[in-house]
Amino acid sequence: MAAGIDDIAIYIPRLYIDASDFAKARGLDPVKLQKGLGVSQMAIVDANQDPACLAANACLKIMQNNKLSPEDIGRLYVSTESAFDESKAMNSYVIGMLEQVYGQGSFEHCGGIETKFACVSGSYALYDNANWIRADEADGKAALVVVSDIAKYDMGSSGEMTQGAGSVVMLLNDKPRLLEFDPKVTATSIKDEYDFYRPFGKETPIVHGQYSNMLYMIQVRKALEAYKKKVIKTGLIKMESGDTILDHMDYINMHLPYSNMGKKALAYLVRHEWRQLPRWKRILKEIGMEEPVPKDPRGTIESVLGDQEFMTKDHEFTKLFTKTQEYQEVYEAKLSSSLIASTMIGNLYTASLYLGFRSSLEFEYQKGVDLLGKRVGFGSYGSGSSAMVFSGVIQPGFEEVVKNMNLESELGDRRRLTLDEYEDLHENKLTPENSMIHSKKEFVLVDVKTDEESRGERRYVFNE
């Protein structure tokens, strides 16, 4: 039985901080954010929003767009790394909110859990729910997989310029209009690491920025190697000599903690794939320098990062490599459209890969590309750490879904925060009743109880 993504919807908070305002306040060169990281605006949650209401707002949208009733949904999973409870799963809050609209008990039949593995857990949730459908357990129902996060870093830290917030929901079924997952090729890699983590009770993560960048690329590459083996074993793709697996992906969506991380990761993967091929000689000639190697090629990530001479040369080599015509063609055709939304919204942790997929569909369609039958590869990464590589093929019904995508109108009237407003929100100085926007037709957080008996209980309403 087939399984895949039938539709996709997003919910992005309407407050944002502009990269130029942020850079000025922190004494940074705005070009570092805009060109160096690919960050123009970062979406920020209002005082009456949390990751559960972002998720519920996205779910309501996809249900209304598709005229779905709760009876049509058999599973609702929420993947997040912004959990606010150690036991009660975020999907229970989401169900509670949706039942305010669809009626008490209307989702009673629906199963689901909250999944956690930093930014990769949404990909595991998609995989598990696709398998639920493939196993014919769904009884004609669809699954909703919601990825929802608030990417928030300590004030003044280097991560602060890579924040964002929002939610993406995907409707999964056995006759997907948008994308059918390729069966039996999903591949993973996993390793106990401390590149980025958030200990109990801490609102913001502890981050080893450059280490996390490098680990991301290494882990995704390992998962890509495993994917390649499965593709060859299953015969899904016929590889000719001189081909790389990436030649057989029309689009490549990467996890986007900031949009240029997608560029960095693609360059890393392409470079490692091409190194084995006859075309590499020609590329090296165009670059005009030898590919640098670290002093200790078998060393740890720390030893490579500490090898200043290598890092400088490697940086120079990468820059030249990404300027070669052959690489530029791959970048423009396979990745560039996926980066547009990230630049305008920022990091969504679990949701950022799927915001990128959504962005790629909309902007490739606008270019006039016929998406039917195109193979889409996904490179998912979660700190701590695990990567997943999988793929799918765009289906005949795609146009019905993609023609209505309009990021600008979905973002709506955004409000540019002043630095003071942003800092008050960041430091949790405002309570829900002091929200900056009075939203309509949305779920909002009203109250979090603080008394001994019911501490942590959250109350939400649907603003008519």
Q: Rule CB under 6 A: which of 334-363 touch ligand CAA?
A: 347, 349
Burial class (CB in 10 A: 0-12, 13-18, 19+), 148: buried
Side-chain half-sphere exposure of 206, counting CA atoms within 13 A: 9
Nearer to ligand CAA, 119 or 376 (CB): 119
Phi, psi at 15, each rounded to 5°: -85, 145
Q: How many CB atoms lie within 10 A of CB 135?
A: 10
Nearer to ligand CAA, 315 or 459 (CB): 315
Minimum distance between the CB of residue 104 and ligand CAA, rounded to whole angstroms? Answer: 37
Q: Which stretch binds ligand CAA (CB under 6 A): 184-192, 205-213, 266-274, 416-424?
A: 205-213
At 18 the three-state DSSP class reads strand
Are the beta carbons of 384 and 349 closer than 8 angstroms?
A: no
Nearer to ligand CAA, 36 or 96 (CB): 36
Contact between 131 and ligand CAA per CB under 6 A: no
Q: Rule CB under 6 A: which of 403-432 touch ligand CAA?
A: none
CA distances to 40, 43, 66, 155, 161 from 30, rounded to whole Å, are: 9, 17, 41, 17, 10
Strand partners, 18: 41
Q: What share of the chain is helix, strand, coil (3-state, %, to 5)?
A: 45, 20, 35
Query: By rule CB under 6 A, what string of x and - marks binding of each residue 255-284 to ligand CAA?
Result: x-x---x--x--------------------
Token pair 């680990």: residue: 215
- The residue nearest ligand CAA at its CB is 36
Are the beta carbons of 455 and 449 closer than 8 angstroms?
A: yes
Minimum distance between the CB of residue 117 and ligand CAA, rounded to whole angstroms? Answer: 11
Are the beta carbons of 168 and 126 closer than 8 angstroms?
A: no
Contact between 94 and ligand CAA per CB under 6 A: no
Contact between 35 and ligand CAA per CB under 6 A: yes
Query: By rule CB under 6 A, what string of x and - marks binding of each residue 11-30 to ligand CAA?
Result: ------------------x-
Q: Which stretch binds ligand CAA (CB under 6 A): 31-39, 57-65, 69-77, 290-298?
A: 31-39
The sign of the CA dihedral 187, 204, 412, 65 is positive
DSSP string covering 70-139: GGGEEEEEEE-S----SSS-HHHHHHHHHHHHH-TTTTTT-B--EE-BTBTHHHHHHHHHHHHHHTT-ST
Nearer to ligand CAA, 219 or 244 (CB): 219
Contact between 254 and ligand CAA per CB under 6 A: no
Token pair 């309407």: residue: 14
Minimum distance between the CB of residue 441 and ligand CAA, rounded to whole angstroms? Answer: 30
> Pairing state of beta strands 164-173 and 142-151?
antiparallel
Are the beta carbons of 336 and 322 closer than 8 angstroms?
A: no
Nearer to ligand CAA, 147 or 178 (CB): 147
Applying CB under 6 A, which of residues 91, 167, 173, 212 lies at the interface with ligand CAA?
212
Contact between 381 and ligand CAA per CB under 6 A: yes
Nearer to ligand CAA, 197 or 280 (CB): 197
Distance separating alpha carbons of residues 238 and 252, to the nearest angstrom: 18
Minimum distance between the CB of residue 157 and ligand CAA, rounded to whole angstroms? Answer: 7
Minimum distance between the CB of residue 32 and ligand CAA, rounded to whole angstroms? Answer: 4
Contact between 145 and ligand CAA per CB under 6 A: no
Phi, psi at 42, each rounded to 5°: -125, 120
Nearer to ligand CAA, 42 or 437 (CB): 42
Are the beta carbons of 136 and 1 closer than 8 angstroms?
A: yes
CA distances to 13, 81, 205, 433, 448 from 460, rounded to whole Å, are: 16, 20, 26, 12, 9
Token pair 């993406």: residue: 168
Q: Which stretch binds ligand CAA (CB under 6 A): 49-57, 253-261, 406-414, 416-424?
A: 253-261
Applying CB under 6 A, which of residues 41, 213, 337, 338 lies at the interface with ligand CAA?
213
Applying CB under 6 A, which of residues 32, 279, 282, 441 lies at the interface with ligand CAA?
32
Contact between 315 and ligand CAA per CB under 6 A: yes
Q: Which stretch binds ligand CAA (CB under 6 A): 42-50, 91-99, 181-189, 203-211?
A: 203-211
Q: Rule CB under 6 A: which of 154-193 touch ligand CAA?
A: 158-159, 161-162
Which residues of this protein are in contact with ligand CAA, per CB under 6 A?
29, 31-32, 35-37, 118-119, 158-159, 161-162, 196, 207, 209-210, 212-213, 216, 255, 257, 261, 264, 315, 347, 349, 381, 383
